[in-house]
Chains A and B, each alone.
Chain A
Amino acid sequence: MLKLHYNLEKISMGLVAAIIVAASIGGLVEIAPLFTLDETVELPGDLRPNTPLELAGREIYMREGCYACHSQMVRSLADELDRYGPYSLASESAYDHPMLWGSKRTGPDLARLGGKYSDDWHVAHLIDPRSVVPASIMPSYPWLTRPLDTALLPDALATLARLGVPYDKEMIAAAEADALAQSRPGTEAADGFQARYGARPAVQAFDGDPSRLTELDALIAYLQSLGTLTDAPYRALAEGAP
């Protein structure tokens, strides 16, 4: 066996062929299961895609590198269930491109954050984390009060639609208006938004000021949506092993 390798090393083309064979085995083992992804990940019936405002917030979440310190995955360990809630399911992030599970926690996991704290708290906490959590080591993000740039949203929705996220033409066309509408409760535009996205996404002035659409609006809308896109994890845990 070792002698075989010894001899192979001396025939360069043979060595190249052997390297290709070895590397492709590794590749196949990693890639082949992905072809059955459609069959193995079951989409929950109540899974909703992110709204344009939440999507803009998700971009800010990535831009500011939140994922470097916060995971979005409750692991299937008893202690995690005790602290955070039901463990995360793959199907929860079926519409996430890319997923933001993260692998390191300097701060707490955020997978079940939606609805846990008030918008006011998020505003205070993002602008100056120490004002509400004195021992926090999270950086301050005071610049999030600047206006939100929504120009890329229609393209973002169209791209995601091509990847299988259920945005229709109407949603893509109205993406910019819908981002604004979600932060303005009680307006006609908000009714149009709810006609497209249903009653489940929260319509509220996330940063406390309905007259301005800021990056805070987007990021808080996204944070408040975490873990609320489907009830599947709660059902899975209640039913025992899925």
Chain B
Amino acid sequence: MTAPHHREVDPVTGHDTTGHDWNGIRELNTPFPRLVIWALVLAFLYSVIAWVLLPAWPTGRDYTRGLLGLDQRAEAAEGFRALSGRRQDWLSRFGGADFAALTADKALMATAMPAAARLYADNCAACHGTRGQGGPGFPVLSDGTWLWSGDPDEIATTIRHGINADDPDTRYAEMPAFDWIERPDRIALSRFVADLPGGAADFETPAGGLFTENCATCHGDTGAGGLSVGAPSLTDTATLYGQDPETVMETLRHGRAGLMPAWSGRLSGAEINLLALYVTQLGQGSGGRP
């Protein structure tokens, strides 16, 4: 064994060895890279500066605030207000509900509709589809069929208060269950309802009698709806859940009470009016473009 402090240089790498010899094996004592040491020193320096400038150390019930006085929450709130403020010069005009005047202002609509498309995608598209195409149980917005009305006013009311929602002014559209009707009668009635759009339904049959007795109050004597009680027309081709006999059986058995949430807590009045206009235009088939 060689002396422990004897300096020995490895001829291949030019580095020192540790000076030890383990049965003929020697270990290099490669020095720590300079670059890493400097990076460490700089990182330490930065952290010391950051301690002084930024919020850093907890002190029991408080913390050191830092010389810059930065507060991420305040900054976020401020940034959010600045962001909303930039929209406000045109968005505030949607605070009033004179939809005809708003639609007539082409320049305003050109600014607003791309923003409306974002709002729609963020909030409405999940149920009503990205282009308003709807789905089973979720109304189509891109056709001309409306349960209440396609007026922006009425659409804004629906968005604001929802349908069957947890809101004192919500719209109600509840179909009760008719499970108390005997099953054979329910089957006949559902076939009758399925035949309504084609005009093949005969009101003089027993099933027609059942319809007049149980359904006509809400859906109208001829099933054409339009009574603004949330009951859809059964004579057109537009459906919400489906109008084949099986689906109608399901509807009769369990009833239907689809829910649209009220958006007044989540969106501002102006945003709701903006969306109402966007949805109106979806309904007119222009895909939200003015």
Contacts and interface: CB of A to CB of B under 8 A. Distances in A.
A119 interface: yes
B268 to A, nearest CB: 12
Interface string B11-27: 00000000000000000
Interface in A110-130: 115-121, 124-125
Contact of B73 (A32, A83, A125, A242): A242
Interface string A198-242: 000010000000000000000000000000000000001100111
Given A118-B260, A120-B259, A78 B82 contact: yes
B61 A40 contact: yes
Interface residues of A, number: 36
Contact of A76 (B73, B122, B136, B137): B73
Q: Using C-beta atoms within 8 Å of the partner chain, give the interface range for chain B.
A: 20 to 34
B175 interface: no
B261 A87 contact: no
Nearest to B82: A78
Q: Quick one: which of B58, B84, B126 has the most chain A CB within 10 A?
A: B126
Interface in B54-113: 58, 60-61, 71-80, 82-84
B84 A240 contact: no
B220 interface: no
A82 interface: yes
B77 A81 contact: yes
B7 interface: no
Interface string A65-102: 00000000001111111110101000000000000000
Contact of B76 (A40, A77, A124, A131): A77
A36 B261 contact: no
B61 A36 contact: yes
Contacts of B34: none
A39 B130 CA distance: 47
A134 B131 CA distance: 11
A134 B126 CA distance: 9
A18 interface: no
B242 interface: no
A39 B61 contact: yes
Interface of A: 32-33, 36, 39-40, 75-83, 85, 87, 115-121, 124-125, 131-135, 202, 236-237, 240-242
Interface of B: 58, 60-61, 71-80, 82-84, 122-123, 125-127, 129-130, 135-138, 166, 258-261, 265-266
Given A76-B76, A121-B126, 12 more contacts: A32-B58, A78-B76, A78-B83, A81-B79, A116-B266, A117-B126, A117-B261, A118-B127, A120-B138, A124-B137, A134-B129, A202-B166
